[in-house]
């Protein structure tokens, strides 16, 4: 994970450099792209900090071993329901929210309500129903 943290620290520095260069290129007049690229730098640094702090707790991983093999990554990466419809509902709710931003407020509200419902269902999927444990 040390390699991943270093990559994200470098990406953050690159995005700061790119945002500053872009800002000088457009004479600091374009106020959508400049903050967005600076936000990319901030997000890269947040990921780098998280990966670095997680690395301190867990120690060396397979990616840090010079002689590491791909098979060392084998194992369980999470628990997933075999046939879950909740992600489709969340995606539909997100589409309704974006459509509501473009068209009218009532579609936005419908999307927010659907988003809360489907997110709640997805989070508590393993607490009730077929896959309860």
Which pLDDT band holds residue 133 (cuts at 50, 70, 90)? low
pTM: predicted TM-score of the whole model, two decimal places: 0.55
Report yes or no: 62 and 98 within 8 Å, Cβ to Cβ.
Answer: no
**CA-based Rg of the chain, rounded to a whole angstrom?**
21
List, in sequence order, the alpha helices (H) in the chain: 2-25, 33-58, 86-102, 105-123
Which pLDDT band holds residue 112 (cuts at 50, 70, 90)? very high
Three-class SS of residue 58?
helix
The pLDDT of residue 74: 79
C-alpha 54/C-alpha 16 separation (Å) is 24
The pLDDT of residue 80: 72
C-alpha 68/C-alpha 46 separation (Å) is 27
Write out pLDDT tens, residues 65-111: 778 787 877 777 777 777 888 999 999 999 999 999 999 999 999 99
Write out pLDDT tens, residues 21-41: 999 999 999 989 999 999 999
If you average pLDDT over every residue of the chain, what do you get? 89
Three-class SS of residue 60?
coil
Residue with tokens 């931003």: 101
Please name the residues in contact with 99: beta carbons below 8 A apart, sequence gap of 6 or more: 107, 111
């Amino acid at each position: 994970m040390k390699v991943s943290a270093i990559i994200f620290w470098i990406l953050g520095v690159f995005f700061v450099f790119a945002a500053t260069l872009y800002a000088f290129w457009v004479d600091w007049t374009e106020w959508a792209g400049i903050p967005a690229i600076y936000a990319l730098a901030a997000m890269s640094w947040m990921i780098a900090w998280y990966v670095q702090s997680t690395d301190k707790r867990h120690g060396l991983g397979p990616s840090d071993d010079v002689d590491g093999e791909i098979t060392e990554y084998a194992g369980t990466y999470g628990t997933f329901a075999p046939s879950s419809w909740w992600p489709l509902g969340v995606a539909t709710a997100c589409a309704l929210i974006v459509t509501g931003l473009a068209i009218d407020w009532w579609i936005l509200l419908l999307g927010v309500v659907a988003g809360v419902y489907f997110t709640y269902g997805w989070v508590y999927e393993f607490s009730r129903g077929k896959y309860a444990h």
